[in-house]
Amino acid sequence: MLTFLLVTTAGARAQLSPGKLSQAHASLEGVTDCTKCHSNDRELAPEKCLSCHIRIKNEQEESKGLHGQKDYQECQKCHVEHLGRDVSLIYWKGGEKAFDHNLTGFMLEGKHASLNCRDCHLAKFMRGLSVGSDERIDPGRTFMGLHSECTSCHVDEHRGQEGDNCLKCHNQVAWKPVVGFDHARTEFALTGKHQTVDCVKCHVLQTDRPIGKDPDYMKLTGLKFERCTDCHKDAHNGRLGQNCTSCHNTSGWFKVNTTSFDHSKTRYPLEGMHVTVTCSKCHGESQSKKGLKFAACTDCHTDYHRGQFAKRASRGACEECHTVKGFTPANFLMSQHDKTDYPLRGAHRAVPCVACHKKSSLSGPAAYNFVFKSTTCFACHKDPHHGQVDSLVTAFGCESCHSVNDWAEISYDHSRTKFPLEGKHAQTTCFKCHGDTAAAKINRSDLRFVNVRTDCQSCHADVHRNQFAAGNATDGSRCHTPADWKASKFNHQTARYKLDGAHQYVACNKCHPTVSDDAGKFVRYKPLDTSCVSCHGTTLPERRG
């Protein structure tokens, strides 16, 4: 009887329920609970399902997700029951992987398309579900609780700086490159060299808000960019103002707009010839502004004078003679030259610089010579006397005769010679005695100073026609002096015919007549007849009284 009852009871149950409920609905097992899901006609009543499944009800009411679609309002189309405790409640037509995810309102694209369902449908990504506190929800089975926002699954790399719409910049293929982002649409469009700069150079990584294993993020907002110096160091330290774009552009730091650049604001204002010099001459092709030296001219220019002025007090500073207006003419004043080892005097002051400071190319490129081994006259002038006065020049220099005022201005002391100049000789020009050659009359450099004769006849003609000659020469100094031509030294008392008595008062020409011959007129001094009759005749004068 007992066995029958059990069989009877078991059979009754089989007729009332088609099978055991799933583990999720096990609490609804029993004939008294059938109406919690079924209507009186044994059909499944979706509204009764929604009395428990509130979140699905909300989706339907809001027309969101899979359950919000009209074709998925009837639960039994996808969910089966009474197949046992371990059977899944979800029926996947064609299998789970064949499910059309587009029906959920979230299309799987890019990397999402290659993921398994449970790569995303995990408890850590589920929001709006009381996972862990609600025993009715199994996070390992449910596919609900996910949102379509990227940050519902992914860490917000930008920490809310750009909002939740990651797809405005990124796509689902890869996080990088950021194909949807265009920097030109920002307040700071990238041009020139900025286009090749790594993002983190400007958007510096921040570490103040780590999320999980993501310790840092790029700072995208709150960046200063109104001025170049917000990112770049001012290489000019404020000397040229704050507007870098007045000279530079983003195509390259060294591509300077020279037409608008004001070099006067730098430590080296351009003046004179420097204004016309191209930038690359000083700054090189790279237009480098660092390491330039400009304290001295020789920092850029080679020493044209090859160190000839290095021992001067200025150490050869170019500005002592030159200016930036041009290398020539030199600005070396006469007063400055007077302070050198060779002050300019007299005619030297009118001599052009290049007449003395000539170009020399003995070593290296040709340059003007400013260092002389000697400053004697012969260092510049040829010896017009051909060595005749070397002994005199060695002792006293050319200045012993000549003046720097004028070469022809001679002030030689002739008393130092064997023939002191006296009387008329002192008034005679040098040329009269030292230029007795035909060549000297044409070229003064042929004047003779050695072996010059000092006898009278060497310069003066013998107006007495050898009447007083002793041998082949007449010594005029026996009668004459340099004072004048008069025979002031002649004493008639020493002559062959002494003057006595009335003869002393007789004029010379009474006895010494002027006569003529083929050469011309001359005074006859001898031979003369000294007899009385030669002058008085033979007739005696008549006695008076």
Longest dimension (CA), the chain: 246
| 213 inside domain | no
| 391 inside domain | yes
pLDDT the model gives residue 524: 92
| 411 inside domain | yes
| 66 inside domain | yes
Segment 423-440 shows an average pLDDT of 78
**Number of domains within the chain:** 3
CB 320 within 8 A of CB 332: yes
pLDDT the model gives residue 439: 57
Q: Cis before residue 527, ω within 30 degrees of 0?
A: yes
Looking at per-residue pLDDT, the higher value among 255 and 76 belongs to 76
What values do phi and psi take at 402, rounded to 5?
-105, 160
3-class SS of residue 515: strand
pLDDT the model gives residue 3: 34
| 220 inside domain | no
pLDDT the model gives residue 286: 67
Given 103, 126, 149, the domain boundary residue is 149
The confidence band for 542, taking pLDDT boundaries of 50, 70 and 90, is low
pLDDT the model gives residue 363: 63
**Using CA of residue 24, residue 30, residue 34, residue 35, what is the dihedral sign?**
negative
Where are the alpha helices (H) located in 237-374, listed in sequence order? 279-283, 334-337, 353-356
Closest CA to 91 of 70, 119, 72: 72
Burial of 499 (0-12, 13-18, 19+ CB in 10 A): middle
Span 86-98, pLDDT tens digits: 998 899 988 999 9
361 & 463 share domain: no
390 & 496 share domain: no
For the full predicted model, state whether its pTM sits above 0.85.
no
Span 244-292, pLDDT tens digits: 888 889 998 877 777 778 888 888 899 999 998 888 888 877 666 677 8
Given 149, 179, 195, the domain boundary residue is 149
pLDDT the model gives residue 453: 87
pLDDT the model gives residue 10: 41
416 & 468 share domain: no
| 307 inside domain | no
Segment 343-348 shows an average pLDDT of 92
| 473 inside domain | yes
Residue partners of 125: CB distance under 8 A and separation at least 6: 145, 146, 152, 153
Segment 510-517 shows an average pLDDT of 91
The confidence band for 461, taking pLDDT boundaries of 50, 70 and 90, is confident
pLDDT the model gives residue 221: 93
Looking at per-residue pLDDT, the higher value among 308 and 437 belongs to 308
30 phi-psi bin (left φ>0, alpha ψ -120 to 50, beta other): left
- How many whole angstroms separate alpha carbon 540 and alpha carbon 320? 101
42 & 128 share domain: yes
Q: Which string of DSSP letters, residue by residue, matches 243-256?
A: -GGGT-BTTBTT--
- How many whole angstroms separate alpha carbon 21 and alpha carbon 81? 6
322 & 427 share domain: yes
22 & 81 share domain: yes
353 & 472 share domain: no
410 & 503 share domain: no
> CA Rg, the chain, in Å?
67
| 381 inside domain | yes
Range of lowest pLDDT (45-59, 288-302, 360-374, 400-414): 360-374
The confidence band for 13, taking pLDDT boundaries of 50, 70 and 90, is very low
CA dist list (Å): 302 to 206, 296, 298, 360, 367: 53, 11, 6, 17, 12
23 & 136 share domain: yes
3-class SS of residue 50: helix
Segment 499-513 shows an average pLDDT of 91
35 & 145 share domain: yes
Residue 364: which domain range?
318-434
The confidence band for 430, taking pLDDT boundaries of 50, 70 and 90, is confident
Looking at per-residue pLDDT, the higher value among 375 and 10 belongs to 375
- How many whole angstroms separate alpha carbon 52 and alpha carbon 36? 10
430 & 463 share domain: no
Given 103, 127, 149, the domain boundary residue is 149
483 & 530 share domain: yes
Task: Classify residue 452 by its DSSP letter.
Answer: -
